[in-house]
């Protein structure tokens, strides 16, 4: 009985996720080979000055936005030795990548869960620019982390050729499958032994503070630990269950779009030279503050969001029950 239920859970999670990931694997490749990524980078170059970064670093962030963080890091280790930058600037760049990366796939996952693709994309971009502007002002004001940055991080670029790219994508999709199997199994075991109830007691008060009900607990746990890309299938499944209210779904999605994969991504950015003041504290603190601000905005303009930002599936979910 347990295995049958587990198999069904895995199926319900992985199929919706693959429906998003597989098309976007090819869409992203098309954007690369047609030079659209480079065009976006040129458009971003003048904007980099707003957050205190040289325009040459624009291509790194755009690659993180359109492709993924790992592709951006390959550019990072090749471009950085030829540019004079400070530790503060590298920290700002890594925070920008943490707050806003894999934008196409993760916004598509958010859309499948009920929130507009364009809204999610602009929400993350604007939030990232705002946080990085504030960080730049703080670092500049106090001359903090203004020592020259010296990179010691190396990454091997992927092998050229369509076949090697296709093989990498197949391995990536298989890796996603393994992550989903492990994650769903852990969640089912936690339910079976009663730890889920214990976690609810701990998480309900802080979630309530952000306007999120306990029914969205799995979305928050999975999103913050595993991330949107790997946990997206669980996010979509939870929404499809129709057991969560629309406010909790919306605010959960906004929160985990800014604060997700806090273990893997954080360690990666620390490893390449980002300082903990930005990579850990600024990202999490500002991410949560922006989430709290969005709660206040939603409470005032909830009809606007329901009419123009939510899709039909999300509109049909129940309202949050007020106690």
Q: Which residue ranges make up each domain of the chain?
A: 2-149+165-315
Separation of first and last alpha carbons in the chain: 36
Between 177-191, 203-217, 238-252, the lowest mean confidence (pLDDT) is in 177-191
CB 248 within 8 A of CB 212: yes
CB neighbours (10 Å) of residue 322? 4
- State what percent of residues in the chain have pLDDT above 70: 97
- CA–CA distance, 252 with 236 (Å, rounded to integer): 12
Long-range contacts, stretch 156-162, CB < 8 angstroms, 24+ apart:
157/74, 158/74
- State mean pLDDT over 184-213: 82
Quick one: pLDDT band at residue 154, thresholds 50, 70, 90?
Answer: low
Question: Is pLDDT at 200 greater than 80 in this prediction?
Answer: no
Question: Is pLDDT at 323 greater than 60 in this prediction?
Answer: no
- CA–CA distance, 65 with 24 (Å, rounded to integer): 13
CB 92 within 8 A of CB 135: yes
* Selected residue with higher pLDDT from 187 and 177: 177
Instruction: Give the model's pLDDT for residue 183.
Output: 81
Paired with 115 in beta bridges are 310
**Averaged pLDDT of the chain:** 89
Judged by DSSP in three states, 86 sits in strand
- State mean pLDDT over 266-288: 93
- CA–CA distance, 161 with 2 (Å, rounded to integer): 44
- State mean pLDDT over 252-281: 92
- CA–CA distance, 107 with 256 (Å, rounded to integer): 11
Instruction: Give the model's pLDDT for residue 156.
Output: 66
Angle between helices 103-112 and 58-66 (to 10 degrees): 30
Instruction: Give the model's pLDDT for residue 189.
Output: 83
Between 14-18, 57-61, 196-200, the lowest mean confidence (pLDDT) is in 196-200
Question: Is pLDDT at 230 greater than 80 in this prediction?
Answer: no
- State mean pLDDT over 147-172: 80
- State mean pLDDT over 59-80: 89
Question: Is pLDDT at 282 greater than 90 in this prediction?
Answer: yes
* Selected residue with higher pLDDT from 22 and 242: 22
Question: Is pLDDT at 170 greater than 60 in this prediction?
Answer: yes
Instruction: Give the model's pLDDT for residue 155.
Output: 61
pTM over cut 0.85: yes
- State mean pLDDT over 183-204: 78
């Amino acid at each position: 009985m347990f295995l049958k239920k587990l198999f069904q859970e895995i199926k319900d999670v992985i199929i919706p996720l693959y429906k998003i990931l597989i098309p976007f694997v090819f869409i992203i490749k098309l954007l690369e080979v047609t030079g659209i990524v480079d065009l976006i980078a040129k458009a971003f170059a003048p904007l980099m000055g707003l957050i205190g970064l040289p325009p040459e670093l624009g291509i790194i962030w755009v690659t993180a936005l359109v492709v993924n963080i790992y592709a951006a890091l390959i550019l990072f280790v090749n471009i950085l030795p030829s540019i004079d930058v400070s530790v503060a600037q590298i920290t700002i760049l890594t925070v920008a990548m943490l707050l806003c990366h894999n934008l196409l796939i993760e916004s598509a996952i958010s859309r499948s869960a009920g929130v507009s693709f364009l809204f999610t994309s602009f929400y993350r971009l604007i939030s990232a620019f705002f946080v990085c502007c504030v960080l730049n002002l703080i670092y500049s004001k106090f001359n903090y982390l203004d020592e020259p940055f010296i990179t010691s991080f190396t990454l091997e670029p992927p092998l050229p050729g369509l076949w090697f790219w296709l093989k990498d994508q197949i391995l990536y999709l298989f890796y996603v499958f393994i992550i989903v199997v492990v994650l769903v199994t852990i969640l089912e075991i936690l339910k079976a032994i009663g730890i889920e109830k214990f976690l609810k007691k701990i998480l309900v008060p802080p979630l309530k503070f952000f306007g999120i009900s306990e029914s969205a607990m799995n979305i928050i746990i999975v999103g913050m630990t595993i991330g949107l890309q790997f946990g997206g299938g669980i996010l979509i499944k939870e929404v499809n269950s129709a057991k969560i209210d629309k406010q909790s779904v919306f605010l959960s999605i906004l929160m985990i779009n800014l604060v997700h994969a806090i273990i893997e991504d954080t360690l990666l950015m620390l490893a390449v030279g980002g300082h903990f003041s930005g990579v850990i504290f600024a990202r999490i603190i500002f991410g949560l503050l922006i989430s709290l601000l969005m709660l206040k905005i939603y409470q005032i303009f909830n009809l606007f969001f329901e009419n123009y930002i939510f899709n039909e599936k999300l509109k049909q979910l129940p309202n949050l029950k007020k106690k």
